[in-house]
Amino acid sequence: MAGIFGTDGVRARINTGSMRAESVVRLALAAGRWFADKTADDGRMTRPMVVIGKDTRLSGYMLESALVAGFTSIGINCRLLGPVPTAAVSYLTHSLRADFGVMISASHNPHHDNGIKLFGPDGYKLDDAIEEDISALMRGSIALAPPDGLGRARRIVNSDQRYMEFAKATFDTAQSLAGMRIVVDCAHGAAYRTAPNTLVELGADILPLGVAPDGLNINLNCGATEPSGMAKAVAESGAALGICLDGDADRLILADEQGQIRDGDQILATLALDAAEQGTLHGPVIGTVMSNLGLETVLAKHNIGFERAAVGDRYISERMVKTGSNLGGEPSGHVLLPQLSRTGDGLIAALQILSIICRTGKPASELLSCFTPIPQRLVNLRDIDKAVLSDKRVTAQVAAVEAELGGQGRVLLRPSGTEPLIRVMVEAVDKARLNAAMDKLVTVLKAAS
């Protein structure tokens, strides 16, 4: 993708590159100019408006101020939501009839990273073409508003309550979570208030984890990327389910009542099989190149179509639109339910699983074990330039490993779209062959770097 945008907005270590204050002001000027011009082209006489949310990183205050400075200097009114999930920004952008929305978050990354995601007036993430236009504007001269045309900024004090009502509306009103104990780990992130409070208002007895953000502890040994603590709490407390969200709450990892961790593939399979049984599944289920072969196999057994998109919820969403699908996701825990939310929402996905538990009376361990995963290993190699993937030594070794695995496994090498690293994935029925293949790939990548 041209310009500063990656697979999920703009992301970098704070005070470096695109996450310096001056860079963020420049991004706001360019994005503001693009949307202001579009408003003028549409014949709108009212001043454009943007909603801005953030997670709990210390750097969010700095980036919020930089965005407000850029947007108001273009003449755009800013509505500040405070710490809310990414899905809340998507929802409120549409609900408040804003011209666009911004989420300040680096999702599952550590506190020292941050990022900016942009949403259109429909609440969906921007198309690549618009991001390319904004990138081009950043490189040129940007017209500012006259002194009497500056935008205004004010805070929306009840943004979390608005989002909670939206989330609760996706849960069957005939059902209640009364008497159900649930562990919920919010990763000290954006959902530290909304997720526990929503579950309590639906009747649950909750054990909250990761709900004391200090600006530096987001995703630190907790949340969707570190669910072991949540799983242990489930087993020790006798909870019916454990819910793990990430820093901006768009990922979901679960633990059943036995403390067994269930990733996005198992969640996707559970939702797909139930929707097919209820007659509400449309089109194929959309996964990614990282989705476990076991997921594809179990869906095929039930005559459910399955297609793979590139990694990233935006690419899953694009494929869903093309195929008419109403269910997609990836192993990391992004679950897309477009009939309920315009972007990935960990809390809403969890509520759908809880609804199935309530309706069927089945324990989570039964519902969330739809298939036996094919053994899979993922290794992240840092400080290796993505150009190494084109090296002849690497491509030759990949071809040799794939030939050795035959039809009993898969290999995937790709640069991360959100972090400076190369991801190496090997999947094989036989663990010994899997480990041998991974060792060969890692060795050649390091030698070629």
Residues annotated catalytic, as ranges: 107
Alpha-carbon dihedral sign for residues 219, 161, 337, 122: negative
- Residue among 119, 105, 385 at smallest CA distance from 246: 105
Strands (DSSP E) contained in 290-431 are 306-309, 328-329, 335-336, 376-382, 409-415, 421-428
Are 78 and 68 a contacting pair, CB within 8 Å? yes
Give dist(CA 168, CA 202) in Å, integer: 8
Quick one: tokens of 155?
């805070």
Query: Order of strands, edge to edge, in the sheet holding 409-415?
Result: 376-382, 421-428, 409-415
| DSSP secondary structure code for residue 175 in this structure | -
Using CB atoms within 10 Å of the CB of residue 60, give its burial: 0 to 12 exposed, 13 to 18 middle, 19+ buried. Answer: buried
- The span from the CA of 341 to the CA of 171, in Å, is 12
DSSP states of 151-169:
--EEE-TTHHHHHHHHHHT
Distances from the Cα of 17 to the Cα of 5, 22, 95, 113, 215, angstroms: 12, 10, 33, 11, 21
